[in-house]
Amino acid sequence: MDLTSELLRVGRTQDIWQKHCGFINLSLDKFMEIQERLLAEQIGLLYQSKLGKEILNGTKPGNMDEFRNQVPLTNYEDYAHYLDERNEDVLPIKPYMWASTSGRASGKGAKWVPYTKKMYDLLGDGVIGAMIMSSCSGKGDVNLQLSDKLLFSLAPPPYVTSLLAHSTRDQLGVKFLPSLEDGEDMEFGERVAAGFSLAMQEGLDYFYGLASILTRIGEQFEKSSGGTRPSRRMLNPLVLWRLIRAVVVTKIQNRALLPKDIWMLKGIVTGGTDTAIYKDKIEYYWGKKPLEGYGSTEVGAIACQAWNYKGMSFTPDRDFFEFIPYEEHLKVEEDPSYTPKTVLFDELEKGIYELVVTNFHGGVFTRYRVKDLFEVISIGDDEIESELPQFQLYSRNADLIDLSSMVRLTEKDIWGAIENSGIFYQDFIARKEYADQHVSLHLYIEPKPGTNVLAEDTRTRISQYFRENVEEYRDFENIIGFDPLIVSLLPIGAFQIYTTAQKEAGADLDHLKPPHMQPNDSILERLLHPE
């Protein structure tokens, strides 16, 4: 298929729409036809490889039903002995590139994921589709130009977000601020600052990155409005013109200077669990709603909202999708030996599901439990003329606390920080919460009896540990401009009273104590007010 840049150069915008956004108007039958055809191709590729045969248990399923009945659900540890070593000899297709995560819950280091050339190309397809959706007024409207400038504020190699950027540039030829080559040699904060500095001179059309970054920059603009000091950079005629125009607008409207006065963005694309929290602030500061997309290292870029900014639609050609209903998800969380039932894409109803994927195009992950939870908010959307299920991200992997998709802390990370703080404590729970529309890591700690533990002193010690030992935490704090950690002290005896009550209620051994990570509101209330 022609590169999108070539289609754009000759004005074939309807072909561009069909290539990147046409999937939203597929019928359910057509969606499943694509899924079934590509799954059959993938089974053939898997069966020809050593790793694939191991995952398939030596069988070669002939259809979707046989595949689901004969092949077990998997997780990363089923592949780690090959992927951790990046052993390409056992794979279905030689990788074009490798991507990695920042770590995994087992504490055994990063997950390594092979990307074939086709999988790599589809990463860019997904980004371009989201760019189109974020800047269009309706079906068929393509608002791309070859001269577009894009600020991409995500992680460098070997993270998959770098592959997203390179694949997008390969296919569309947009200009990144700063260039990918320059930006990948910079620290994260330096790269974002350089991008906005260049945008002052050259303009900015699209932003792709974290919602928290746009919010933080908007807040900085509002706070510093009226106190801007002249600099050599402002002598640049283009910068000066932008500032003069912006100041005139703000004077007329009698308000503070905001980013939307400097840049008139065509589109904003964000991802992660915090987009919904920051969307109103982003629209206020930047003049555009953020369009939410979804992807991960193991699955690629697989979903985004349409121009009405409601549910996300999944693409049919990246992965084969299965879904574990929430009730089944809870059963397997309670009993890891339990095999949960799955439903197919055309069997979905409104409700919450855990995502299970099988990579297409020579990828390796097969019936892979992503552990992320999605909510089906409707079947179809008349506004966008779609009959496909519409999704919103309900929760990232429950074993982790995810702060704006930038910091992911395991139970071990948090426990280690508390241990190294030197405080005398009985037990703790950790929750991701929102305070004043900002994401926070809230630790609830019960001190040991007879000790003098102070909440603020404890918070300072734990924050210092995170800054010194978790690079992503330090970067996140620098980006959002404040420490996301909150510490509250629980009453003495809270955990013992909880455990005693659970015993009296006949709870089994695994449920005598509350979970350290993400306990629900009911458990928190019992610990805050033990009886």
DSSP per residue, 220-242: HHHHHTT-PPP-GGGGSHHHHHH
Ranges of H-type helices in 48-186: 50-55, 64-70, 80-83, 117-135, 160-172, 180-183
Across the strands, what pairs with 271? 293
Ranges of H-type helices in 421-486: 455-469, 471-480
Reading the chain (531 residues) residue by residue, the pLDDT tens digits are: 689 999 999 999 999 999 999 999 999 999 999 999 999 999 999 999 999 999 999 999 999 999 999 999 999 999 999 999 999 999 999 999 999 987 654 456 789 999 999 999 999 999 999 999 999 999 999 999 999 999 988 788 888 999 999 999 999 999 999 999 999 888 777 888 899 889 988 999 999 988 878 888 888 887 765 444 444 454 566 677 677 777 777 788 888 889 998 899 999 999 876 687 788 889 999 999 999 999 999 999 999 999 999 999 999 999 999 999 999 998 998 899 999 999 999 999 999 899 999 999 999 999 999 999 899 999 999 999 999 999 998 877 666 788 886 787 877 789 889 988 999 999 999 999 987 778 999 999 999 999 999 999 999 999 999 999 988 899 888 888 889 999 999 999 999 999 999 888 877 545 678 988 899 999 999 999 997
Q: Measured between alpha carbons, how far is 90 from 168 in angstroms, rounded to an integer?
A: 29
Q: Measured between alpha carbons, how far is 7 from 38 in angstroms, rounded to an integer?
A: 26
Cβ 339 vs Cβ 369: under 8 Å: no
pLDDT value for 505:
87
Cβ 394 vs Cβ 76: under 8 Å: no
Residue 221 structure tokens: 């603009």
50-59 burial, b at 16+ Cβ within 10 Å, e below that, comes to ebbebbbeee
Pairing of the two strands 300-305 and 438-447:
unpaired
pLDDT value for 225:
56
In residues, how long is the chain? Answer: 531
pLDDT value for 410:
77
Q: Measured between alpha carbons, how far is 196 from 333 in angstroms, rounded to an integer?
A: 44
Q: Which of 145, 56, 159, 144 is nearest to 112 (CA)?
A: 159
Write out the E strands in 382-418. Answer: 386-395, 401-403, 407-409
Cβ 446 vs Cβ 491: under 8 Å: yes
Q: Measured between alpha carbons, how far is 448 from 424 in angstroms, rounded to an integer?
A: 6
Single-letter code of the amino acid located at 440:
S
Residue 222 structure tokens: 């509002």
Backbone angles phi, psi at 230, to 5 degrees: -60, 145
pLDDT value for 230:
42
pLDDT value for 394:
80
Single-letter code of the amino acid located at 294:
Y
Cβ 26 vs Cβ 338: under 8 Å: no
Q: Which of 1, 5, 30 is nearest to 387 (CA)?
A: 30
Single-letter code of the amino acid located at 236:
N
H/E run at residue 103 = none
Across the strands, what pairs with 319? 359
Tell me if the bond preceding 178 is cis, omega within 30° of 0.
yes
Residue 358 structure tokens: 């099988």
Residue 404 structure tokens: 């704006």
pLDDT value for 108:
67
Q: Residue 274 contacts by C-beta under 8 Å, 6 or more apart in sequence?
A: 210, 211, 212, 403, 404, 405, 439
Q: Reduced to 3 states, what is the DSSP secondary structure of residue 465?
A: helix
Tell me if the bond preceding 158 is cis, omega within 30° of 0.
yes
Q: Angle CA(192)–CA(197)–CA(201) in degrees, nearest 5?
A: 140
Residue 312 structure tokens: 């996300």
Q: Reduced to 3 states, what is the DSSP secondary structure of residue 377?
A: strand
Residue 225 CA from chain centroid, whole number: 32
H/E run at residue 442 = strand 438-447
Cβ 95 vs Cβ 389: under 8 Å: no
The model carries a pTM of 0.79
Q: Measured between alpha carbons, how far is 487 from 492 in angstroms, rounded to an integer?
A: 15
Q: Angle CA(180)–CA(182)–CA(184) in degrees, nearest 5?
A: 65
Residue 49 structure tokens: 């490889």
Q: Residue 23 contacts by C-beta under 8 Å, 6 or more apart in sequence?
A: 31, 313, 315, 316, 317
- Going along the chain from its start, the domains and CATH numbers come out as 12-108+308-395 (no CATH), 120-291 (3.40.50), 406-528 (3.30.300.30)
Q: Residue 262 contacts by C-beta under 8 Å, 6 or more apart in sequence?
A: 200, 242, 243, 246
Across the strands, what pairs with 312? 305, 391
pLDDT value for 436:
76
pLDDT value for 195:
92
